[in-house]
Structure 1
Amino acid sequence: MASFSMRIKASKILLRTHVRKLKFNLVTLQGKVRLSIETWWSKSLSRFLMVSIDRCLNRNKHKLLVLATLAALFVLVSFIFIFWWHIPQQEINSAVLTPKERLDSENAIRTTLTQTLTTLIQAVGGAAFIAGLFFTWQNFQIAQQNLEVGQKNLRATEEKQVTERFGKAIEHLGHNSLTIRLGGIHALERIARDSDKDYWQVMEILTAFIREKAPWPPQKEEAEKNKIPIDIQAALTVLGRRGKSYKEGEDYRLDLVATDLRWANLTMFNLRGVNLQEANLQASTLIKADLQFAVLTNSNFKNANLIDAGLQNVIGKETNFQGASLLQANLEKANLLKAQFQDAYISGANFNEANLESADFQGSSPVRVSFEGALLTKTNFEDASLEVANFQRAKLLKTNFKNAFLAGANFSDAILRRVNFEGVVGLTAGQIEQASIYDCQLPDSL
C-alpha cells in the first residue's frame, strides 16, 4: 500500500515536471513565433513602403506631400504594432504571474494604450485637418495665380486683335472704294464699343475723316447737289448713336469745326457738347436731336429742321437760324448773341433764361413762345408775331417791337427800359401794368 502511494506521488511529480517543461516550451515557441512575426512584418512593411514611395515619387506631382503622408502612415502603423502587441508582452514577461493574471494584465495595459492611442489619433487627425486646410489654401492661391495669368494672356490677345482690327479699319477708311470705306467706318464703331481704351481715338479718327472729306467751304466742285455723301452720313451716324457724350464719359468735345453737313440726316442724334463752330448745317434734319452744350458760333442752320430739338445751354455767336423750324425746340439758358432768327418758325419754343442779346427775330412767328427770365438787350422783334408770348421777369433793354403783334403777350414783372413799342398791335395797358417801365416809347393808345 505504501509502495502504491509512493508511485502515485512520483507520477504526480513527473507529471508536474512535464507540464512545466511543456509550458516552458510553449513560452519559448510563443517568443519565437512573435519574433518571426515581428521580423516578417518589419520586412514586409518596409518593402511595401519603399515600393509605394518609389512609385508615388515617380508618378505624383506633389512628391513632398506623398512622402510625408507615407512617413506618417508608417509611424502610425509601427506605433500601433509596438504599443498594442509588443509592449504589453514585454511588460508581462518581466513579472511572474498566473495565466489569468497575465491575461488580465495584458488587457489592462492594452486598454490604457488604446485610450492613449485614441487621443494621439485625434491629435494627428487635427493636424491632418490643419494640413489639409493649408494645402487647400495653397492650391487656391495657385489657381488664383493661374487665373490671373490666363486673364493677362487673354487681355494681351484681345489687345493684339483690336490693334490688328484698328489698323485694317483705318486702311479701309482711306480706300477709293465707297463700300470698303463704309466697312472701315463700321469696323471702327465696333472697336469703340469693344475697347474703352480705343474709344476716343476712334471718335477722333471719324471726326478727322469728316473734316477732311467734307470741309466748309468746299475745296472742289460738288459731285451731287442737295445730298450729303454716303460715307460722311455713315460717319455722322456712328457719332450720333454713340453711348457717351461730353462730360458724360467724354472729356473733350467732338471736333466738327468748319464741316459741310448740308442736307445731313441727324434725327435724334447725340450731338451733346459737339463743337460745330463755323459748320454748315443748312437744310439738315435735326428733329429731336440733342445739341445741349454744343458750340454753335458762326454755325449755319438756315432752313434746317430743328423741331423738338434740345439746344439747352448752347454757346453761339452770330448763329444763323433764318427760316429754320424750331417748333417746340428747347433753348433754355442758351447763349446766342447776335443770333439770326429772321422768318424762323419758333412757335412753342422755350427761350427761358436765355441770353439773346442783339438777336434778330424780325418777321418770325413765335406764337406761344416763352422768354421768361431771358436777357433781351437790343433784341429785334420788328414785324414779329408774338401772340401769347411770355416775357415774365425778362430784362428788355433797347428791345425793338416795332409793328409787332403782341396780343395776349405777358410782361408781368419784366423790366422794360427804353423799349420801342412803336406801331405794335394788340398790346393793352393791362399787359404791361405789372412791368417796370423806364423811358419806353409806347403807342399812342396807351
Structure 2
Amino acid sequence: MSDNNTDALRNWLIVLAFIFILCLFIVFLAFLNIEGLSIEQRLDYGIKALTTTGTIFAGIALIINAFYGAKRAEAMHKSAEAANKSAEAALKNAEAAQDKQITERFAKAIEQLGNEKIETRLGGIYTLERIAKDSKDDHWTIMEVLTAFVRENAPLKKDEEQELPKIRTDIQAALTVIGRRNSKNEHENQRLNLSNIDITGVDLIKANLERADFISSNLEGALLREARLQNAEFYDANLRSAVLSEANLQKAYLSGTKLQQANLYKANLQGSFLPGANLHLANLAEANLQGTNLSGAKNLESYQIELAKGDRTTILPENLQPPEHWKA
C-alpha cells in the first residue's frame, strides 16, 4: 500500500478514536443525569450503553481496516503483476542478448574454421563445442558443421594415393568434440555423416558415436576401445587392425567391412549385421555374438568363434558349426 493510503488509514483511526472517546463521555454523562433512577441503575445503564457504543465503534473500525486492507492487498497484487511483467521483460531481453551473443560466436567460429593457421581452426572447433553445450537448439547444427569439416578436410583417397599418415590435429580435434557430444539433444533419425573419409589411426577411445555413418570410410588402425557405436554403419569400411575391444556395437551394420586383425575382445556385437565382412585373424575372444548375423563372413575360423560368446540366435557362415558351449 502507498504512503498516502497508510497516512489516510492512520488519520481515520485517530479521528475515530477521538469520536469514540467523546461519545463515551457524552453517553456516560447522559445516563448519570437521568432523573428517577437510582445511582446503581444509572451506572448499570451507562455501562451497557458504553459497551454497545464501543461495539459499534469497534465494528466501524474493523470495516475501515478491512477496506484499507483490501486496498493494500490490491496494491500489492498490482505491484506483484508489475514486478512479474518487469521480470518477463528482463528475461526476454536476456534471452535476446544471449541469442545475439551465440549468433556472433557461431559466425566467428565458422570463420575460424577456414583460417590457414591450425591454432585458429582449433579455436573455432572448441568454440563450437561450447556453443553446443550452451544451446540445445544449436547442438545438431554444430554437429553437422563439424562432420562437414571432417568430410571436406579428410576425404577418402584413391587406392593409388593410399598412405598411413598421422591424422591432422584439427581433424582429430573435430572428431574428439563429436565423440564428446550429448546425444540426448538429438532425434533418433539424426545421424552423423562421416562417410567416405580417411581417418587412419584416429583416437576415439570411449567416444560417443551412436548412429554414426562411416560408409566406405578408412579407419585402419583406429583406436575405438570402449566406444559407443550402437546403430553405427560401417558398410564397406576399412577397420583393419582397429582396436574395438569392449566397444558397444549393438545393432551396428558391418556388411562388407574389412576387419582383418581387428581387436574385438569383449566387444558387444549383439544384433549386429556382418554378412560379407572380412574377419581374417580378428580377435573375437569373449565378444558377445548373441543375435549377430555372420552369414557369408569371410576368413572366419572355428577357433575364433570358440572364444566368443554366442547362442542359438547367432547366424554363422555355412562352413561353420556353433560351438558346444553356445548350445547350453
TM-score for both structures, normalised by structure 2:
0.84
Counterpart in the other structure of 1:321: 259
CA deviation after TM superposition for structure 1 residue 193, in Å: 0.6
Counterpart in the other structure of 1:242: 181
Counterpart in the other structure of 2:292: 354
- DSSP-derived class of the 2:224 partner: coil
The AA in structure 2 aligned to 1:282 is E
Contact 1:84 1:113 in 2 (8 A): no
State the identity %: 32
In 2: Cα distance, 1:362 partner to 1:282 partner: 19
Among residues 243, 247, 270, which one is paired with 2:208 in the alignment? 270
Contact 1:89 1:106 in 2 (8 A): no
- DSSP-derived class of the 1:236 partner: helix
CA deviation after TM superposition for structure 1 residue 183, in Å: 0.6
Tell me, yes or no, if structure 1 residue 368 matches structure 2 residue 307: yes
Cα distance change of structure 1 residues 206 and 218 upon mapping to structure 2, 3 Å threshold: farther
CA deviation after TM superposition for structure 1 residue 197, in Å: 1.0
Q: How does 1:199-238 map to 2 (within 5 A)?
A: 199-217=139-157, 225-238=164-177
What whole-Å deviation, never above 9, does each CA across 1:9-50 have from its counterpart, x for those lacking one?
xxxxxxxxxxxxxxxxxxxxxxxxxxxxxxxxxxxxxxxxxx
CA deviation after TM superposition for structure 1 residue 186, in Å: 0.5
CA deviation after TM superposition for structure 1 residue 220, in Å: 11
Contact 2:291 2:315 in 1 (8 A): no
Structure 1 gap segments, 5+ residues each: 1-61, 380-398, 415-446
CA deviation after TM superposition for structure 1 residue 253, in Å: 0.9
Cα distance change of structure 1 residues 368 and 221 upon mapping to structure 2, 3 Å threshold: closer
Q: How does 1:66-145 map to 2 (within 5 A)?
A: 66-82=3-19, 84-85=21-22, 112-145=52-85
Counterpart in the other structure of 2:121: 181
In 1: Cα distance, 2:254 partner to 2:60 partner: 88
Cα distance change of structure 1 residues 413 and 286 upon mapping to structure 2, 3 Å threshold: closer
CA deviation after TM superposition for structure 1 residue 75, in Å: 4.5
TM-score for both structures, normalised by structure 1:
0.63
Aligned Cα root-mean-square deviation (Å):
3.4
Tell me, yes or no, if structure 1 residue 410 matches structure 2 residue 324: yes
Q: How does 1:50-61 map to 2 (within 5 A)?
A: none
What whole-Å deviation, never above 9, does each CA across 1:42-93 have from its counterpart, x for those lacking one?
xxxxxxxxxxxxxxxxxxxx7xx45445445554444444454379659979
Cα distance change of structure 1 residues 284 and 153 upon mapping to structure 2, 3 Å threshold: same
Cα distance change of structure 1 residues 372 and 276 upon mapping to structure 2, 3 Å threshold: same
In 2: Cα distance, 1:220 partner to 1:342 partner: 24
The AA in structure 2 aligned to 1:239 is I
Contact 2:261 2:283 in 1 (8 A): yes
CA deviation after TM superposition for structure 1 residue 282, in Å: 0.9
Contact 1:344 1:365 in 2 (8 A): no
Size of the aligned set, in residue pairs, is 321
Counterpart in the other structure of 2:192: 254
Among residues 400, 404, 407, which one is paired with 2:319 in the alignment? 400
- DSSP-derived class of the 1:207 partner: helix
In 1: Cα distance, 2:13 partner to 2:157 partner: 95
Tell me, yes or no, if structure 1 residue 195 matches structure 2 residue 113: no
Cα distance change of structure 1 residues 85 and 308 upon mapping to structure 2, 3 Å threshold: closer
CA deviation after TM superposition for structure 1 residue 123, in Å: 2.9
Contact 1:327 1:347 in 2 (8 A): yes
Question: Relative to structure 2, which stretch is displaced further, 266-275 or 139-148?
Answer: 139-148
Contact 1:346 1:365 in 2 (8 A): no
Contact 1:211 1:256 in 2 (8 A): yes
Cα distance change of structure 1 residues 374 and 360 upon mapping to structure 2, 3 Å threshold: farther
Higher-Rg structure is 1
CA deviation after TM superposition for structure 1 residue 130, in Å: 3.6
Counterpart in the other structure of 1:305: 243
Cα distance change of structure 1 residues 337 and 127 upon mapping to structure 2, 3 Å threshold: same
